[in-house]
Structure 1
Amino acid sequence: MCVSKTCWTKNTRPRPALAHPIAPFILVSVPRFRIILLLAALGITGAAAQADAPQRVVSVNLCTDQLALDLAAPGQLVSVSRLAHDPKSSARVEKALALPTNGSGAEEVFLLNPDLVLAGTFTDPATVSMLRDLGIPVVLFAPAQSLSDVPDRIAQMGRALGREAEADRMIAAFKADLSALQDAPADRPRAALYYVNSYTSGDKSLAGDILNVAGFENAATQAGISTIGTLPLEQLILLAPDIIIQGRDYPGQSRSEDNFNHPALHALTGTVMAGELTDRDWICGTPQVLNAIRAMRDLRIRIGGTQ
C-alpha cells in the first residue's frame, strides 16, 4: 500500500494516492463533476468536518478543566488536572469526577494519546515545549483579569474544541446573567480582600471586578493597589474597612497564614470578618464567577447595605 502523497511504479509517472477505498471505482466510472456529489452523499464531507474537531482532549490546568467540562462534546475530554477533583478548588468537581486526572507532566500526558492539550500560560514551559516537540498541539489560556475576559475565554475554548455554537450560547447566557446582577447601591461598603502573606486584589483584577459588581468599594484602591499586591497588616488596620474577606484556609499550617489570626486584626471594631468567601467560584474566568457575585451581594445586604 502506498502511504506517501504520490504512488510510484516502475517506468510510470506518479499518480495521486487514493484517500477512500471506493475512489478507484469512482474515478473510472463517474464523470468528474459527479464525483463531488457522490462523495457528499457517502458522508465523506461530513466526516472530514467532524475530523477537524479534536477527539481526545487533555486539560492540564484547573481553569481550562472547568471550561472544557462545560463545553466539550460527550467523550471529547478524556482527562483533567488533579485539581479538578478538589472540591475546594474546582467549581465543576461533580462533572470532573467522571474523568481520570493527570499530573500535568509531559510524559503522562503523551501516554494519553491526545490530539489536543489545553494549558494555561503559567503551565511549565518545559512541558508545553516537550508536548509540541512531540507533535501534540497545545492551546494556552491566559488567566482572566476581569469579568470582561470571561466571554473571551469561553470563545477561545469553543474554537479549540470545535464547539463555537455552544460557546456562543454560553456567552449570551453569561452576559444576560451578569447584566441582571449589575448593582449600583447608594451605600457601597468598603471591603478588603485579604489572602495569605497579606496579598490583596485591586480594582483591575477579576476579584476586584466581582466586588465592584456586587456593590462594594475596594479598600485596596485607597492603598494604591490596582491589580495584585501586598497590603501590610498595619495598613489594613488603618484603612478600617467595613468588611474583611479572607482567603480560604486549606488543611495544614504555615507562617504565611499567621496574618489571619493576628490579635490586632480581630480587635478591629465595626469591621465584619467574612472568612473563606473567596472560594472556588472566584478562581477562574468561567461563568461560575456569577455565583461569587451573588454571594457578595447577599453579604452586603446582610451587613446593612441597600439592595
Structure 2
Amino acid sequence: MRRSDPIKLAAAGLIWGAAALAQAGPSRVVSLNVCTDQLAWLVADPGQILSVSPLGHDPRSAALADALRAIPASDGSAETVALMQPDLVVAGSYTARATVQMLERIGIRVERFAPARSLDDARANLIRMGDLLGHADRAAALANAFDARLAELTDAPETRPVVAYYLPFNETASGEGLAGGILHAAGMTPISEALGLAGGDRLPLERLVLAQPDLILVGPAYDSPAQATDLLAHPVLAATGPLHRIASSAAWICGTPATLDAIAAMRDLRRDWEAHQ
C-alpha cells in the first residue's frame, strides 16, 4: 500500500462520518415559535428538542400543549438560547426577530418557517421539519396519514353554508388562509368570499348582520375583557344566525395534523345545519 493510501482512507472515513452525522440530524434543537414547537415534536426523537416557546405550553395556542410540557420552555432570548449550545434553532418568519438575528450573527444555524396559509403549506412544513431533524421517513408517514384523513373528511355538498368566522377588531377568516382552508374542506363558504372581501379587509358588524350568514363562529372566550373582544359577545350575532363558539382555537392557529380535528368539527357542524334546513 502506498504511503498516501492511509491518509486517503482516513479522509474518506471523516467524510463518511460527517455525512452520517448530517443524515442523523441535529441533536440539540431549540424552537422559538409555537408552530415550530409542534412540528418539531411530531417528528423528533425523545431528547432531541432542548426547549420550546412559552406558548407551546399554553393549550389556547398549542394543540399539543400537553405533550410539549415535558420539554422546558425558554424565555426566547438570544442569551438563553446561545447558552444551550444548539446545533439548530427553528423559528417563525415573524417571531423573535431580534433573537434570530443575534443568533445568526454568532454563527448559530437558524431555520425560519413561514406561517401555514393553507393545508398544502401545513403538509410542506411538516415534510421540511422532518428533513431538517433527520427524520424524513417519519415526516413522510405523518404526511401520508394527514392526506388520507383529509381525503376522508373533505366534503363537497351541493349547498355550502356561508359561514362568518368572526374575530376581534372586525376581522373575519379569509378564504385564502388556513382558516379558509378548514372551512372549504368542511364544505363551507367563508363570508369573506361571499362578500368579495380581500385578505385583511375588515367586516363591520353592521355589514355582517345585513349579509345574513347561515352560521356564525366565534373563538373561545377571552380572559381579559376588551372592547375588541366584547364585540364577539354582542347579542345581535346570536339574533342574526346560529351562533357557535369554538371551544379552542389552537387547532386553527398552526398547520399540524390537529388542524384536521378542526375540519372534522366544522363538517359535523355543517351536517347538523343541513339536518335542520
TM-score, scaled to structure 1: 0.82
Structure number with the higher strand fraction is: 1
Matches of 1:278 and 1:97, distance apart in 2 = 18
Q: How does 1:139-150 map to 2 (within 5 A)?
A: 139-150=111-122
Q: Give the aligned residue type for 2:194.
A: Q
Range moving further from structure 2, 46-55 or 235-244 = 46-55
Matches of 1:144 and 1:299, distance apart in 2 = 24
Aligned-residue offset at 1:183: 0.5
Change (3 A) 1:48 1:132: same
Hey, what does 2:244 align to over in structure 1?
274
Q: How does 1:1-307 map to 2 (within 5 A)?
A: 32=6, 35=9, 39=13, 45=16, 48-50=19-21, 53-268=25-240, 271-277=241-247, 279-305=249-275
Hey, what does 1:15 align to over in structure 2?
none
Matches of 1:116 and 1:33, distance apart in 2 = 32
Structure 1, residues 133-163: CA drift from partner, whole Å, max 9, x if none? Answer: 1111100000011111112101211121121
Matches of 1:134 and 1:193, distance apart in 2 = 43
Matches of 2:94 and 2:2, distance apart in 1 = 52
Change (3 A) 1:277 1:203: farther
* Aligned pairs, number: 275
Matches of 1:305 and 1:208, distance apart in 2 = 23
Residue aligned with 2:129, SS: helix
Matches of 1:240 and 1:173, distance apart in 2 = 37
Range moving further from structure 2, 48-57 or 127-136 = 48-57
Matches of 1:64 and 1:103, distance apart in 2 = 15
Structure 1, residues 15-73: CA drift from partner, whole Å, max 9, x if none? Answer: xxxxxxxxxxx997x9549947x959xxx945751355211000010000000010112
Q: Is the 8 A contact 1:245 1:277 kept in 2?
A: no
Matches of 1:46 and 1:193, distance apart in 2 = 52
Matches of 1:248 and 1:198, distance apart in 2 = 16
Aligned-residue offset at 1:298: 0.9
Hey, what does 1:6 align to over in structure 2?
none
Q: Give the aligned residue type for 1:97.
A: R
Largest Rg, 1 or 2: 1
Q: Is the 8 A contact 1:246 1:277 kept in 2?
A: no
Structure 1, residues 246-288: CA drift from partner, whole Å, max 9, x if none? Answer: 02222111111121122332332xx110012561111111111
Q: Is the 8 A contact 1:188 1:217 kept in 2?
A: yes
Q: Give the aligned residue type for 2:155.
A: D
Aligned-residue offset at 1:222: 2.4
- The structure with higher relative contact order (CA 8 Å, sep 6+) is 2
Hey, what does 1:9 align to over in structure 2?
none
Matches of 2:236 and 2:46, distance apart in 1 = 53
TM-score, scaled to structure 2: 0.91
Q: Is the 8 A contact 2:216 2:237 kept in 1?
A: no
Q: Give the aligned residue type for 2:20.
A: A
Q: Is the 8 A contact 1:72 1:161 kept in 2?
A: yes
Q: Give the aligned residue type for 1:280.
A: A
Matched-pair identity in %: 42
Aligned-residue offset at 1:177: 1.2
Q: Give the aligned residue type for 1:50.
A: L
